[in-house]
Amino acid sequence: MGEHSNKPIRQPRTDAVRNRERVLEAAKAVFSAGGSDASLEAVARHAGVGIGTLYRHFPTREALFEAVYRREVEQLADLAEQLKTEASPVEALRRWLRSNVEFVATKKGMSAALALAVNSSSELSAYSFERLTKAVGALLDRAVAAGEIRADISSEDLLRALVGMCYLHDQPGWQASVLRLLDVFVDGLCRPSNTKHGQGAGRPNAGAGRSLKSGRAT
């Protein structure tokens, strides 16, 4: 009998995985448009699933918000890897930073619920800070190594600047304004081909800027 006691671990069914992704994509759209007060019923309708299916995957509103947030962070990290092979160093950095503006727009709609999750545990903030810092750091290192970006800038500096530019995200037309500022900012980081300014300067160590509150970097 013992030889039959070890049952194989059941993998999630394909339709269950698909439904979970549909719910997360729908939640991103609904929360971005309607804010944290948007109903979970609206999310289920947008995803084309029953409310019971939603609750099986995400038993609480906070659990759904956190899952959407983590998914966005992972997608930004994946995008950084993708851009390293698809775009020039400066263009890769620019496109990744611009993608973060959409992330901020999504996060804005979830801010109230996320505040509850973050206040109860610092793990979510630490997780997002680490993942995003590593992602932008890889793109920055590539651009510095190519001699296209000044070397006296850190990944924490970039995230700090991005947070500052998105500070007034509750104002009309803020996204267009931030995207314009991002272009100006990245252009300002580029090293002119006719100067050696900053050459030989090392990147600040990875710990520089760690005094930032981790949650402020996202």
Q: Give the residue range(s) of CATH 1.10.10.60 domains in the chain.
A: 1-59
The answer to whether residue 121 scores a pLDDT higher than 70 is no
110 C-beta neighbours (distance < 10 Å), count: 25
Per-residue pLDDT at 31: 79
| Euclidean distance between CA atoms 126 and 109, whole angstroms | 21
| Euclidean distance between CA atoms 144 and 149, whole angstroms | 5
The answer to whether residue 151 scores a pLDDT higher than 80 is yes
Per-residue pLDDT at 215: 41
Phi, psi of 149, deg, nearest 5: -125, 140
Model confidence pLDDT, tens digit, residues 44-100 = 999 999 999 999 999 988 888 888 888 888 999 999 999 999 889 999 999 999 998
For the ranges 3-12, 83-92, 124-133, 187-196, the maximum mean pLDDT occurs at 83-92
Per-residue pLDDT at 174: 86
**What is the mean pLDDT of the segment spanning 143-148?**
96
Give the CB-side neighbour count of residue 25, counting CA atoms within 13 A.
10
Q: How many residues does the chain have?
A: 218
**What is the mean pLDDT of the segment spanning 110-121?**
55
Confidence class for position 218, pLDDT limits 50, 70, 90: very low
Per-residue pLDDT at 81: 94
The answer to whether residue 118 scores a pLDDT higher than 70 is no
Asked if residue 102 lies in contact with residue 82, where contact means CB atoms within 8 angstroms, the answer is no
The letter for the amino acid at 193 is S
Asked if residue 97 lies in contact with residue 187, where contact means CB atoms within 8 angstroms, the answer is no
Of 3-7, 23-27, 105-109, minimum mean pLDDT range: 3-7
Burial label, 218 (beta-carbon count in 10 A; 0-12, 13-18, 19+): buried
For domain 62-217, the question of CATH label 1.25.40.340 is answered with: no
Give the domain 1-59 fold.
Arc Repressor Mutant, subunit A (1.10.10)
Q: What is the largest CA-CA distance in the chain?
A: 79
Q: Which residues contact 72 (CB under 8 A, 6 or more apart)?
A: 28, 103, 106, 107
48 C-beta neighbours (distance < 10 Å), count: 11
The answer to whether residue 109 scores a pLDDT higher than 80 is no
Phi, psi of 48, deg, nearest 5: 75, 30
How many helices, marked H, and strands, marked E, lie in the chain?
9, 0
Q: Which residues contact 184 (CB under 8 A, 6 or more apart)?
A: none
In whole numbers, what is the pLDDT of the chain averaged over residues?
79
**What is the mean pLDDT of the segment spanning 127-132?**
88
Question: 217: which DSSP letter?
Answer: G
Per-residue pLDDT at 138: 95
Region of residue 106 (phi > 0: left; psi between -120 and 50: alpha; otherwise: beta): alpha
Q: Give the residue range(s) of CATH 1.10.357.10 domains in the chain.
A: 62-217
**What is the mean pLDDT of the segment spanning 15-30?**
90
